[in-house]
Homo-oligomer: A and B are copies of this chain.
């Protein structure tokens, strides 16, 4: 593990253009810290400052930015933006989330967290995904990555019926022979879970009838039923679905998960930015 505060300087003199067409503080700060810790510089472009308002296409805009930068990090609310941008660029582009599309670096850091927290050996790990499995982009991407190791994992999906895992993801898992089961209550599965991945109910995305949904929060009482080796993950921000009372419990891995995100993005940047 890289000790924080060490500056490795392998990207000294290199620039990262961080283009955020929608705010995403955590992702932006993580990429910024990653680039800076490698000795590189960051040029930040927020949506509101963009000349796309003047009628410029995203293709033109990123081509301009690659005149100044060695790598482009792009966050956009539009699904096709990363593909469009990469089609015209000569320099590497990292997709930092494109609407309802993908958020690949989040999926990578989630995978890395499981590997770090559970050890590098495979084994038959039970990963339980809990909360909003319908709109939660991160659990969809994580399912696809976990499906690369169909023998090593079992999945359990726990959600209210109206927020259950979409059919296309379940078909994807079926096609690859990944074992999964669906449940309504977290208490039914907590004792057999190795990794508990909790997601926030995103009130802003719910329909009127869905808005009253409550899920059982993760509390010290619930953890009495869990394995001692359980690890709890969350992409953050959380609202109330995980009690702050368990933050100091070793099973709470979500702040370590944040820090792993920094390392994963450092690794990614150092891989894609070309040496001169």
Partner-B contacts on A (CB < 8 A): 3-7, 12-15, 17, 23, 25-26, 28-30, 32-33, 36-37, 41, 43, 45-46, 48-51, 54-57, 59-61, 63-65, 67-70, 88, 200, 236-239, 244, 247, 255, 258-259, 261-262, 274, 276
Contacts and interface: CB of A to CB of B under 8 A. Distances in A.
A23 B41 contact: no
Interface of A is mostly: mixed
A25 B51 contact: yes
Contact of A68 (B12, B30, B48, B238): B30
Given A59-B244, A237-B61, A29 B13 contact: no
A198 to B, nearest CB: 14
Contacts of A12: 7
A236 B55 CA distance: 11
B49 A43 contact: no
A110 to B, nearest CB: 15
Scoring A12, A25, A65 by chain B CB atoms within 10 A of each residue's CB, the highest score goes to A25
A56 B23 contact: no
Contact of A29 (B29, B43, B236, B261): B43
